[in-house]
Chains A and B, each alone.
Chain A
């Protein structure tokens, strides 16, 4: 679950910003031939709903219904006793707490707009059957239409609020890395990062480690205390106000300068394609592999290969073969226009 700070700061994510995002969504409905849009949320998949409303379910699941001419409605399988908390931490006109999400959403649609013949559902194939089956029973399978194209069309470019909170998430992450000190073992290292990030208001922190880069470059989350090798890599993912970023550092004597990886990459990528930019940033090493992750749906970050959206906050991670062994580096950048 989410254990970090879940709080809506209107200074950082203004009401007007959220309203503008919803308005873009509503305007896109007729363009995509849809009468309404349903977006699923649980805490591993909060991103689409939090983008529009700032709501993140610390537990359980829900769905946001966007109608063309009304404020969105959140249906959530949480107790009514947390209704006040939901209202404090998000910008939603109406919250309906129900254990029967599919039936309740269906009844609501029938009462408000009549049975839809084109209900857009973001990531329809992934919608839990407990919600989807009652809707399909009520409106027919053909009435449920995947709305991925619509969401991708309205998601980018990132607005000022998203860029600012993502930058803040990056700052929190850097403080987490700075708190490592002498790592010793994985448990101490993770505790230093995790505690620092949460005390600075991180909504969530994930720390993965490749404990011995010379043996294996795969990043793992430990459920025990693990001895670290001479060269290890640490990937920290931080969520802040609903937005996620990842940064990765290689801990070894000779990589201090590479802590500015993100800054250098941003400058280079504005001028040349990504793989060339990655090569320029670490000229003494050979680029082995890289990934770019952005938010394109309900998952906070999804790897993209082709068609990286311009103006998005992207988390780039790269593996290099350096003169002293493998390096893993990563940072968040704003993707340039093609």
Chain B
């Protein structure tokens, strides 16, 4: 199998090689006999790969793409699958060996989905770390502090826990707030709704929570929308079981909103895609989205259930291992 990855899209590469790439692109060839070759773009990444993957052959080459294409030509008699197909470098996709390669993305997607007990335990540890990080967030989010100063506190906390990676966005304000983003210079004010997603990684496995707080006393409107939100989230969790579709979960949540005349807030203008993710990357595109297949009884994975945003006021998410 030929696998590519970088710090953004690291899941397939990490799953196959356990190498946490930081800089540049990486290609890896893994054979059925257990041999692993890792190709990197810099001497520094080569040093890191050699330490992280002592059993692998690590190659640093200027002209990485050409070098890998040449190596693949030497494997012309082998059946090779490549993943993820859409991110494979054009130079590889144009090479002669690629003409006979198959798309290995579905195979790896399946492997990523079905978790071993050790993987589930690691995701649970990441989820627990996410919750602890939110405890730090509650202390850090104070009136007058800039968003980026708040995030600095959480990131420092995660570094003290040996957690090197975290996907974190936030949003602060009132009804004008349309979505979360990396922290900005805005300073928190009394009455702000402050929403954040925390997604720490432990050994490459991410778990994400999303929470909203109010700075100071919540208004009557904020309390009311929160009550709707809690009811919607509970409705989603109530139908959640192996065999259900994500579409059905979303409908259960959306029906609560519609009951209170808030149906417009279940649309894509205000809320996000719902589905499941495979946990080896903080935002691997949901495997199952609205028009999903049933969740397999065999599959063990984390389920991301965002609830619609009511008047841009409250967002509430759960990560649950089935």
Give the B-binding residues of A (Cβ under 8 A): 1-7, 42-45, 58-61, 79, 81-82, 84-85, 88-89, 124-130, 132-133, 136, 141, 144, 186-188, 190-192, 194-195, 198-199, 201, 206-208, 218-225, 291, 299-303
Chain B residues contacting A133 (CB-CB under 8 Å) are 90, 93
Q: Which 4 A-B pairs have the closest CB atoms?
A: A195-B156, A125-B91, A130-B86, A198-B152
Contact of A220 among B51, B89, B160 (CB under 8 A): B51
Quick check: B89 and A195 within 8 Å, CB to CB?
A: no
Residue-wise, chain B 129-157 has the 8 Å CB interface mask toward A (1 for contact) of: 00000000000000000001101110111
Least CB distance from B169 to A in Å reads: 7
Q: Can you give 29 A-B contacts (C-beta < 8 A)?
A: A3-B151, A3-B168, A4-B151, A4-B152, A4-B182, A7-B185, A42-B9, A44-B22, A81-B179, A125-B90, A125-B91, A126-B25, A126-B89, A127-B89, A129-B85, A129-B90, A132-B90, A187-B159, A194-B159, A198-B155, A201-B148, A220-B47, A221-B20, A222-B164, A223-B162, A299-B23, A301-B23, A302-B42, A303-B42
Chain B residues contacting A218 (CB-CB under 8 Å) are 47-48, 50-51
Residue-wise, chain B 167-209 has the 8 Å CB interface mask toward A (1 for contact) of: 1110000000011011111000000000000000111000000
- A-B contacts at CB below 8 angstroms, number: 173
- A127 to B7: give the CA distance in the assembly, Å: 16
Q: Could you tell me which residues of chain B, from 104 to 137, have a CB within 8 Å of some CB in chain A?
A: none
Question: Across the two chains, which residue of chain B brings its CB closest to A244?
Answer: B23
- A192 to B152: give the CA distance in the assembly, Å: 10
Chain B residues contacting A61 (CB-CB under 8 Å) are 8
- A47 to B91: give the CA distance in the assembly, Å: 21
Q: Is B87 an interface residue (CB 8 A)?
A: yes
- A192 to B155: give the CA distance in the assembly, Å: 10
Contact of A206 among B22, B89, B163 (CB under 8 A): B22
Chain A residues contacting B168 (CB-CB under 8 Å) are 1, 3
Chain B residues contacting A126 (CB-CB under 8 Å) are 25, 65, 89-91
Contact (A4, B148) CB under 8 Å given A58-B181, A59-B283, A194-B156:
yes
Chain B residues contacting A44 (CB-CB under 8 Å) are 6-8, 22-25
Chain B residues contacting A129 (CB-CB under 8 Å) are 85-90, 92-93
Q: Is B166 an interface residue (CB 8 A)?
A: yes
Quick check: B153 and A43 within 8 Å, CB to CB?
A: no
- A144 to B148: give the CA distance in the assembly, Å: 40
Chain A residues contacting B51 (CB-CB under 8 Å) are 218, 220
Give the A-binding residues of B (Cβ under 8 A): 6-9, 20, 22-25, 41-44, 47-48, 50-51, 65-66, 85-94, 148-149, 151-153, 155-157, 159-164, 166-169, 178-179, 181-185, 201-203, 269, 272, 282-283
Quick check: A128 and B156 within 8 Å, CB to CB?
A: no
Quick check: A219 and B148 within 8 Å, CB to CB?
A: no
Chain B residues contacting A7 (CB-CB under 8 Å) are 148, 184-185
- A192 to B166: give the CA distance in the assembly, Å: 17
Contact of B8 among A43, A124, A191 (CB under 8 A): A43
- A44 to B25: give the CA distance in the assembly, Å: 8
Judged by DSSP, the binding face of B is mixed
Quick check: B167 and A59 within 8 Å, CB to CB?
A: yes
Beyond the given A82-B179, A218-B47, could you list 14 further A-B residue pairs with CB under 8 A, ordered by the A residue number? A3-B166, A3-B167, A4-B183, A5-B183, A59-B167, A125-B66, A126-B91, A129-B87, A130-B87, A194-B152, A195-B156, A208-B44, A221-B20, A300-B23
Quick check: A6 and B182 within 8 Å, CB to CB?
A: yes
Least CB distance from A112 to B in Å reads: 23
Least CB distance from A41 to B in Å reads: 10
Contact of A79 among B8, B92, B164, B179 (CB under 8 A): B179
Contact (A2, B159) CB under 8 Å given A60-B8, A125-B89, A128-B86:
no
Chain A residues contacting B164 (CB-CB under 8 Å) are 221-223
- A188 to B93: give the CA distance in the assembly, Å: 44
- A220 to B168: give the CA distance in the assembly, Å: 23
Question: Across the two chains, which residue of chain B brings its CB closest to A85?
Answer: B181
Contact of B161 among A4, A84, A89, A187 (CB under 8 A): A187
- A79 to B306: give the CA distance in the assembly, Å: 16
Contact of B148 among A198, A220, A299 (CB under 8 A): A198
Contact (A42, B6) CB under 8 Å given A4-B151, A128-B88, A218-B48:
yes
Least CB distance from B95 to A in Å reads: 10
Quick check: A58 and B182 within 8 Å, CB to CB?
A: yes
